[in-house]
Structure 1
Amino acid sequence: MLVKEAYTHTRNYGCRIRKYTCNDIRMVSIENKYLKAAFALDKGADLVELLYKPKDIDCMWHSFNELQNSLTQPTVSAKAGNFMDGYAGGWQDLFPTYGAPTSFHGGEIGVHGEACIYPWECDILTDTPECVSLKLFLRLRRSPFTMEKIVTLKENSAKLQINEKITNVGTTEQQFMWGQHPAFGWPFIDEHTRLHINGKPTVTVFQSQCVQQCPFEKETIGIWPLLPDKKGNMIDMSKAYAHEDQLYMEYAISQLEEGQYELINETSGLGLRMTWDLNRFPYLWVWGMYCGHNDYPWYGRAYTMAVEPWSSMPANYSVASENGTTLSLQANASMETEISVELFTNAINSK
């Protein structure tokens, strides 16, 4: 006769939750038999592990910077902020600004905003073998916002559902930028990985990104996925490149047909599908770092492809405010959005 457990919160089957520490950082993970997702609560609630268990492949990039407590003191405070000192890869929320450091109504905000720097709190909403759900939340310090995201994983599913909400707790209307910063890494990313986007969106390489080991020498605009490089050769922007190619590429994708893309490794057959609200995030920013940037902070060590839904363009709060691509919230108002990321296999011939 089978006896059902009286206590299931410590189970190691079905959907489950674990709270633990790593290098003095509070962590929380949710998992089932297909997927494990781990969040670094004390480091912006970054998603630092997205493990597809059947193939033992973690899709997230793990930087040469080990995940470490943000209280570690740098050699000297950087004018651009502390993001780079603590960046260990993974997936960050970029808010209320991203890209260049900026002044936000007199408050100095560093590279990629506030949300990815501060500790978050965590409440357990659902904890059953059939479904687990967490509420992650924080209050920002130099801007008048609160943020929360509810992450949910269901039994027999390889899809992580994320529901985010921001609230303006100030007394005046606020403009802001909002972005997702998921950086994917080896072995999911290699020269056999392709980015699939429906339609024929516009691709823009900005002049500011035409630096060393970039195949473009001036601002270049074209139709996805091919752009001419400095020698007139057509570069396939949809593919990841090998370590030995030593390339560096960053570019924007606009005029998207839908809020969805797929990254597919044609060798392993593992695919990742991300969906989002195109009204909130009408742009994609692609960061292709294939061991191709030899100066600070990468020094030729970074191998990653990040495909990031963004609200505004370019990655500069002042410029985005002037060109009208920032979002805005009235006092005491909230804004919500949904994002999902799903892993799937046998994806070689799906496109």
Structure 2
Amino acid sequence: MRRNWAARLRHVTIDGLRAVVLENERLRVTVVPGKGGDVVEFLYKPMDMDFVWLSPQGLRDPREHLQGASDDVAQFIDHYEGGWQEIFPSGGAPSEYRGARLAQHGEVAGLPWECDVVADTPDEVAVRLSVRTRRLPYRLEKVFRLRSGTAALEIEGRATNESGLPLHAMWGQHIVYGLPFLRPGARIRLPEGVRVIPHESAINPPRRRVEAGGPWEWPIVPADGGGETDLSVVPAPGSPSDIVYLTGFTEGWYEISGDIGMRVEWDATLLPYLWMWQELGASTGYPWWGRAYTVGLEPFSSMPTDGLAAAVANGTALILDPHETKILKVRAEVMA
């Protein structure tokens, strides 16, 4: 039964792509099965506050045959609308794994997913999205669930190796924040004992495990040109772009907050790293052209952002045994 109260859902079309809206009294979440199962809206209704960053180029259908669409990087970047992506089976730069060429951020973020309703009552709504990768024999599922009266989105993901061989993978949640929520001075809070690995330490030397890379204690890391940078405070527009990796999570969670906040929780035994990406307007060339003000806080299985081959080499890639399924639970809740 359709309703405009309590928990409810609607199937819509956005810029020609299939989408589904999960909504209750406090939250509205829009998911696009037609493009990677991306979350393109995470709106806290009492304050009309959207948490996700939306890029200036907007939502684009990845099936469009645009100039450069066959490029390994452009497949993701030219159709990147911001928001929240599922990253699998490779993260970061294009990479090659056992003869399979994997583009920027792997396969599933650019594929259409199937979508089925699994709950539709005033108490809760839930949809199941599913997809098979094309270059590696994996199947992914994820259930988005929103319960009445809460400001929390619950996600349960399943990654299954459908082959009789052990295979590697990178699995991540590409969550980025932007206006109107993200402001200079917003604070980032993490569990005790989390350490920072600068990107250079993660990739050099390439075959050493990351524990040998020389991490620094959160939130202080050496800054370019000397001095230190406090990573727990969101910088002003125009600050340098950067990416670091955080590790040492005994519990998987972080909070980012200003006048209002978001708490994200996940299984840190499966995703033991948090990628912290800042693009604050200092990059004036492709693809940002000085127009981005965003911070990504992205739970990941592996590092660095150099693709699956690098994660296999440094020992951080996931291993899925023949026909094994790994289950990942993520919860994102507004703190008001």
- Check whether the contact 1:274–1:340 (CA below 8 A) recurs between aligned residues: yes
| Corresponding residue number in structure 2 for 1:168 | 161
Give me the CA root mean square deviation. Answer: 1.7
- Check whether the contact 1:81–1:109 (CA below 8 A) recurs between aligned residues: no
List structure 1 segments (4+ residues) > 3 angstroms apart after TM superposition: none
| Corresponding residue number in structure 1 for 2:294 | 304
Say whether residues 1:286 and 2:282 are aligned partners: no
| Corresponding residue number in structure 1 for 2:331 | 340
Q: Deviation per CA, 1:45-68, whole angstroms, max 9, x where unpaired? A: 101100000110000000012102
Q: Which amino acid aligns with 2:2?
A: T
- Check whether the contact 2:89–2:308 (CA below 8 A) recurs between aligned residues: no
- Check whether the contact 2:12–2:19 (CA below 8 A) recurs between aligned residues: yes
1:145 to 1:86, Cα distance in 2 relative to 1, 3 A: same
- Check whether the contact 1:13–1:32 (CA below 8 A) recurs between aligned residues: yes
- Check whether the contact 1:104–1:143 (CA below 8 A) recurs between aligned residues: no
| Corresponding residue number in structure 2 for 1:261 | 254
Unmatched 5+ residue regions in structure 1? 1-8, 210-218, 346-351
In 2: Cα distance, 1:242 partner to 1:223 partner: 23
Structure-2-length-normalised TM-score: 0.93
Q: Which amino acid aligns with 2:31?
A: F
In 2: Cα distance, 1:58 partner to 1:230 partner: 33
SS of aligned partner of 1:28: strand
| Corresponding residue number in structure 1 for 2:266 | 276
Q: Which amino acid aligns with 2:248?
A: Q
| Corresponding residue number in structure 2 for 1:215 | none
Q: Which amino acid aligns with 1:323?
A: N
1:206 aligned to 199, 202, 208, which one? 199
| Corresponding residue number in structure 2 for 1:3 | none
| Corresponding residue number in structure 2 for 1:105 | 98
Structure 1 range deviating more: 88-97 or 229-238: 229-238
| Corresponding residue number in structure 2 for 1:177 | 170
SS of aligned partner of 1:129: coil
1:220 offset after TM fit, Å?
8.2
1:195 aligned to 188, 193, 209, which one? 188
Structure-1-length-normalised TM-score: 0.89
| Corresponding residue number in structure 1 for 2:14 | 22
Say whether residues 1:121 and 2:110 are aligned partners: no
In 2: Cα distance, 1:231 partner to 1:81 partner: 32
SS of aligned partner of 2:251: coil
1:225 offset after TM fit, Å?
0.5
SS of aligned partner of 2:35: coil
Number of residue-to-residue matches in the alignment? 325
Say whether residues 1:227 and 2:214 are aligned partners: no
1:151 offset after TM fit, Å?
1.0
In 1: Cα distance, 2:300 partner to 2:234 partner: 20
SS of aligned partner of 2:158: strand
1:326 aligned to 314, 317, 322, which one? 317
Q: How does 1:83-94 map to 2 (within 5 A)?
A: 83-94=76-87
In 1: Cα distance, 2:74 partner to 2:61 partner: 16
Say whether residues 1:313 and 2:288 are aligned partners: no
In 2: Cα distance, 1:69 partner to 1:120 partner: 13
Q: Which amino acid aligns with 2:96?
A: S
| Corresponding residue number in structure 1 for 2:63 | 71
1:36 aligned to 28, 36, 43, which one? 28
- Check whether the contact 1:179–1:308 (CA below 8 A) recurs between aligned residues: yes
1:308 to 1:203, Cα distance in 2 relative to 1, 3 A: same
| Corresponding residue number in structure 2 for 1:11 | 3
Q: Deviation per CA, 1:225-282, whole angstroms, max 9, x where unpaired? A: 0123234332111111122x332121111112310100111xxx21100000011000
| Corresponding residue number in structure 2 for 1:4 | none
In 2: Cα distance, 1:61 partner to 1:34 partner: 20
Q: How does 1:132-171 map to 2 (within 5 A)?
A: 132-171=125-164
SS of aligned partner of 1:253: strand
In 2: Cα distance, 1:228 partner to 1:102 partner: 29
In 1: Cα distance, 2:269 partner to 2:50 partner: 30
1:88 to 1:220, Cα distance in 2 relative to 1, 3 A: farther
In 1: Cα distance, 2:194 partner to 2:269 partner: 16
Q: Which amino acid aligns with 2:6?
A: G
Q: Deviation per CA, 1:9-45, whole angstroms, max 9, x where unpaired? A: 2111110001010110000010101001101111101
In 2: Cα distance, 1:189 partner to 1:208 partner: 28
1:208 offset after TM fit, Å?
9.0
Q: Which amino acid aligns with 1:288?
A: Q
- Check whether the contact 1:64–1:301 (CA below 8 A) recurs between aligned residues: yes
